[in-house]
Chains A and B, each alone.
Chain A
Amino acid sequence: EDQVTQSPEALRLQEGESSSLNCSYTVSGLRGLFWYRQDPGKGPEFLFTLYSAGEEKEKERLKATLTKKESFLHITAPKPEDSATYLCAVQLNTGNQFYFGTGTSLTVIP
């Protein structure tokens, strides 16, 4: 069965304290892995797409990496405005369907 698991469920960081979020997946055929950010009461906002193991993408304080079994979202020197829920999703190569993890709720304390 195709599965996407994110850890930890919740993470509290001091401003400036770097950390990583994990997204592990078990799928029959991966087309791409996507990271989203979701603020309360809003729809998810697209961050990155990763297609192959070894690929890396960066945007401001965020860096996403991909291996054959998991993806990491590294947050360097986070700020309070980085507080949000971060979702990862996998797209299979059999269709346009996305499977989402349940997310990591990040709180950055000033």
Chain B
Amino acid sequence: KAGVTQTPRYLIKTRGQQVTLSCSPISGHRSVSWYQQTPGQGLQFLFEYFSETQRNKGNFPGRFSGRQFSNSRSEMNVSTLELGDSALYLCASSRGFRYEQYFGPGTRLTVT
């Protein structure tokens, strides 16, 4: 079974630009969560989608948004990039409540 895939793997953007990251979950998984990982803060929860609906949201500014498509694929968008947005962005999929999450390899975003 194919794992969670994320594209692109690496991205370099300039402050003020916007970026869109993509995630394809494991086949059959309807829940997709996004996390930001930085050396100082660890894994911080951004949001979770299930069947195209956002069910949970973490404490991030409105510049961070996401969506999920009918095939469970998900995208995350960050507008007006700041230097502090440089991080590894991880996507995780699961079958739903009470099930473990499986992570993709992440997208390394560098904002200059």
Contacts and interface: CB of A to CB of B under 8 A. Distances in A.
Interface string B52-63: 000110100000
B27 interface: no
A44 B103 contact: yes
B31 A100 contact: no
B94 A43 contact: no
Interface string B67-106: 0000000000000000000000010101011101111111
B43 interface: yes
Interface string B11-44: 0000000000000000000010101000001110
Nearest to A102: B42
A44 B90 contact: yes
Q: Which of under 10, 10 to 19, 20 to 34, or 35 or more describes the interface residues of A?
A: 20 to 34
A11 to B, nearest CB: 17
Given A46-B100, A49-B100, A101-B42, A96 B94 contact: yes
B45 A97 contact: yes
A98 to B, nearest CB: 6
Interface in A28-49: 31-32, 34, 36, 42-46, 49
Nearest to A31: B98
Contact of A34 (B41, B96, B100): B100
Contacts of B55: 95-96
B100 A43 contact: no
A87 interface: yes
Contact of B101 (A98, A102, A103): A98
11 contacts: A31-B97, A31-B98, A32-B98, A42-B106, A43-B90, A43-B105, A87-B42, A96-B97, A98-B101, A100-B43, A102-B42
